[in-house]
Amino acid sequence: MIGFIMAIIACTSCHKIYPNDRVPFQCECGGSYDYAEFPDYSENLIDNTKSGMMKYARLFNLEEESGWVSLGEGNTPLLSTSIDGVEVFCKMESHNPTGSYKDRGSAVLVNFLKSRGVTFAVEDSSGNAGASFAGYCARAGIKARVYVPESASGPKRMQIERYGAELIRVPGPRSEAAKAVMEAANSGAVYASHAWMPFGLTGIASIAYEIVEQLGQVPGTLVAPVGHGGLLFGIMRGFESMRKAGRIPNEPFYLGVQSSGCSPMVFAYSNNTTQISEVLLSDTAAEGVKVSQPARGSAILERMKSGKGRMVSIDESNLLDSWRASARQGFYMEPTSALVWAAIKQNVKDFKTPVVAIITGSGYKSTILS
């Protein structure tokens, strides 16, 4: 049976410790939970006889590994290409089992739910997180219900249902799906939020571990799309833990990318604040970043201070041009991933090399551009 050695997880507002007998997604005071100290990186804890993310299992605070629920996540390729004459290494998270980077976080989160004896859980998503959550719950024998905005792409909705999860389509924008899942949580359902619960961050941190192993050095610049911020925040945590352990001398420069149709963090960054105000959403093909109030936004902006990173936005025309251009180089990615391609084209002269781009999801996930 799998178990977790609970690192100290506490509310970032009132500092109350995460309970041992419940599975809350948020503190009673309304604050978010996070690791007081992120799990230490240690090469002594890496088991190179195992493949994929399993090799890092002991870095995820797992008490035992024998019951680890897995679909073979991790160990995604790092492929070299050229964008406007500059070599760029694409970390192909689209190669994960359900087609997106979300599998890294879902694997750890669902194993945590299993360790707590959870048999039914709910989640909300624009699509990728819901599909990943449904897949891992199916593997773990946990019943799942996923709330998605009515506009979520057909392939993602179909994937969720094929895994056996109950799919609830909610009319209106992404925020309405979040309200609907909150009603279920307030009625007693376990809300296994990929955005608010911190457990999946350790899985996402493994992207950083793999990049250093594959590249043989620290990237000069790392580029990633930002919705709720869990992807970039988890990667930041991974590089930070490696630096503190002496595995790498420094961290990359971080470039976070949002759509101009939904760019609350770009607005905050431009105004030199870490406080994020809700913004009005407009249509964008990059449905994975249509989040008006990012759960990890302030934490990311705090880490970008003193020149450690910045936020940029991409307009729809450049997004679509980059989506087509990437496909012509053999990279069939979802539109959200094309944000990083466009950002590199616009900012490539300013980058420290080597440049690593996170390709978050497969083009098969979306029909929005068909």
Span 300-345, pLDDT tens digits: 999 998 889 999 999 999 999 999 999 999 999 999 999 999 999 9
Identify the pLDDT of residue 60: 85
Alpha-carbon distances of 292 from 279, 288, 312, 346, rounded to whole Å: 6, 12, 16, 24
Name the fold adopted by 78-100+198-365: Rossmann fold (3.40.50)
Distance of CA 13 to the CA centre of its chain: 23
Strands 190-191 and 221-225 turn out to be unpaired
Class of domain 102-191: alpha beta
Looking at the DSSP assignment, which residues form a beta bridge with residue 90? 79, 357
Provide the residue ranges of all domains of the chain, joining segments of one domain with +. 78-100+198-365, 102-191
**Whats the size of the chain, residue-wise?**
370
Looking at the DSSP assignment, which residues form a beta bridge with residue 168? 147
Alpha-carbon distances of 161 from 94, 107, 146, 148, rounded to whole Å: 20, 19, 9, 12
Identify the pLDDT of residue 39: 86
Distance, in Å, from the CA atom of 338 to the CA atom of 270, rounded to the nearest integer, reads 22
Distance, in Å, from the CA atom of 335 to the CA atom of 350, rounded to the nearest integer, reads 24
- 324 contacts: CB under 8 Å, gap ≥ 6: none
Sign of the torsion angle spanned by Cα atoms 56, 60, 61, 65 = negative
Cis ω before 354 (30° cut-off from 0): yes
Are the CB atoms for 172 and 149 separated by under 8 Å?
yes
Distance, in Å, from the CA atom of 119 to the CA atom of 69, rounded to the nearest integer, reads 14
Identify the pLDDT of residue 365: 85
Counting Cβ atoms within 10 Å, is residue 152 exposed (0-12), middle (13-18) or buried (19+)? buried
Q: What is the mean pLDDT of each run of 10 residues along the chain (370 residues)?
A: 67 93 93 89 92 89 69 98 96 98 97 94 92 98 96 92 97 90 95 94 97 98 97 97 97 98 96 90 88 92 93 97 97 97 90 97 79
Fold: same for 78-100+198-365 and 102-191: yes
* Among candidate residues 237, 165, 247, 182, the one with its CA nearest the CA of residue 207: 237
Distance, in Å, from the CA atom of 143 to the CA atom of 359, rounded to the nearest integer, reads 29
Torsion, Cα 241 223 289 207, to 10 degrees, reads -40
